[in-house]
Amino acid sequence: MSNLAAAARALAFDPASVRDDFPILAREVDGSPLVYLDSAATSQKPRAVIDAEVAFLTGANSAVHRGAHTLAAEATELFEDARESVAAFVGAGPEQLVWTSGATAGLNLVAYALSNASAGRGGDAARALALHAGDEIVVTETEHHANLIPWQELAARTGAVLRHIPVRDDGTLDLEAAASLIGERTRVVAFPHVSNVLGIVNPVAELVALARAAGALTVLDACQSAPHLALDLPALDVDLAVFSGHKMLGPYGIGALYGRAEVLEALPPFLTGGSMITTVTLDEAEYLPPPQRFEAGTQPVSQAIALSAAVRYLSALDLEAVADHERLLERRMRQGLVSIPGIRLLGDPSTGSGQAHVERVALWAFDVDGVHAHDVGQFLDSRGVAVRVGHHCAQPLHRRFGMTASVRASAALYTTVEEVDVFLDAVSGVRGFFGAGS
């Protein structure tokens, strides 16, 4: 589609048409209207999501899969209907979706399940996933800590070697280096669909092809793509993927692990206890098939139902028009930031290889010359603008760019062009306020 057509479609989506659905957006901060540009950390919730959780808690609250009474049956049906809805939203079947407390829990589940396979737990299929001393796990230099530390720990437990794909000056992954890193000893390739610092959509097809050629397992962190991109995980051909509800208009405490059926079948369980077994004696247990095999204990029932409401809300929108609107915000944000003296963008296409065509979500992290990121954040907050400051759980990536912290502004479907302009106007006053420049 041409840029002109995309721009026309972006205009077809008016964020004002949905803003009344998000009660918190009517707030003021220090006497100014709230401009919420921290959606990459956590998105705001529409009334439909809030109401869905309240409706369950006040009308059908009960433990699932554990009772024969009316409330238990209703709760179980709502819980499993939610699984089906959320799975369909990412192109999967309900048997491919495991509920977790979030993406971090999902990634730890996978890492510990592989550790158990490496210790000899599970059948022949599990043993095929085992890691041994000298095997390699490949991640990227752009990882959120949640997709790095579990692999560090798995390497420590198994004797595997952790390697990383470097990032270029413009924020894109070095695919030539990736091709040289991913080889016959590679057992796992884990990477983000979208960097939570750079906003860049990574080349999934190319990375999956390299992993497939090596016979390695692919693990995708889809936290920053699920809220913004049409997500079809089976079509992406990844083996496993995780995402979090609270970043895609849903509640806290809920996320999901997607897996190809044969991979989930092969993985031994991580957490054990009630609800994930078929038979238990005092000496041993037999486990249910996925997804219940990975859902020990009390489940986040109201949260799953609320996340289902979130994906229904999203699905009712013209998501292509929403995506074009967010691209418009991303371009306006970048153009405004680069025009302000003393601003350095992380992952700027004008540096390095200069791949300006790289797909992005509406997210930019930046440094203000002479002013610490936390001071920038406080200055913006005094004007009602909420942004993220710090290393965004990506210390190695910040170290790569020679800094310890940055300011991150991230938009969502409810963000308006006018709010981006308010943000840019506020940023333009930062250095003057702190005496760091005009």
- The per-residue pLDDT for range 277-297, each reduced to its tens digit, is 999 999 999 999 999 999 999
- Alpha carbon of 363 to those of 276, 303, 393: distances in Å? 39, 27, 15
393 is catalytic: yes
291: preceding bond cis by omega (within 30 degrees): yes
Rounded distance between C-alpha atoms, residue 214 and residue 108, angstroms: 23
pLDDT at 349: 80
Please, are residues 333 and 409 in contact by the beta-carbon 8 Å criterion? yes
pLDDT value at position 437?
73
Q: Identify the pLDDT of residue 351.
A: 61
Between β-strands 186-192 and 217-221, what pairing exists: parallel, antiparallel or unpaired? Answer: parallel
**Higher pLDDT among residues 210 and 10, named by residue:** 210
Residue 55 in this model has a pLDDT that exceeds 90 = yes
Identify any residues that bridge with 251 across adjacent strands, giving them in sequence order: none
Name the percent of the chain in helix, strand, coil, to the closest 5. 45, 15, 40
Contacts of 4 (CB under 8 A, 6+ apart): none
Amino acid at 333: M
Residue linked to tokens 């997210």? 363
Tokens of 103: 């993406």
Return the pLDDT at 438. 57
**Amino acid occupying residue 94:** P
Q: Is the pLDDT of residue 3 over 90?
A: no
Q: Could you give the percent of the chain with pLDDT greater than 90? A: 93
Q: What is the pLDDT of residues 181-207, one digit of tens each?
A: 999 999 999 999 999 999 999 999 999
Q: What is the pLDDT of residue 2?
A: 53
Instruction: Give the chain's mean pLDDT.
Output: 95
pLDDT beyond 70 at 173: yes
Q: Return the minimum-mean-pLDDT range out of 30-34, 66-70, 430-434.
A: 66-70
pLDDT score, position 9: 56
What are the tens digits of pLDDT across the range 311-357?
999 999 999 999 999 999 999 999 999 999 999 999 988 765 545 57
Dihedral (CA of 409, 177, 151, 208) sign: positive
Helices (H) and strands (E) in the chain, counts: 17, 17
Q: State the pLDDT at residue 230.
A: 93
Domains of the chain (ranges, CATH numbers): 3-45+318-433 (3.90.1150.10), 51-314 (3.40.640.10)
Tens-digit pLDDT profile for residues 375-408: 999 999 999 999 999 999 999 999 999 999 999 9
| Paired strand residues for 163 | 138
pLDDT bucket at 5, cuts 50 / 70 / 90:
low
Q: Which residue has the higher pLDDT, 354 or 19?
A: 19
Q: Is the pLDDT of residue 7 over 80?
A: no
What value does the mean pLDDT take over residues 249-264? 98
d(CA 202, CA 80): 32
What is the spatial distance between Cα 150 and Cα 12, in angstroms, rounded to a whole number? 42
Bridge partners (DSSP) of residue 221 are: 192, 242
Catalytic residue among 209, 288, 393, 436: 393
The predicted pLDDT at position 66 comes to 81
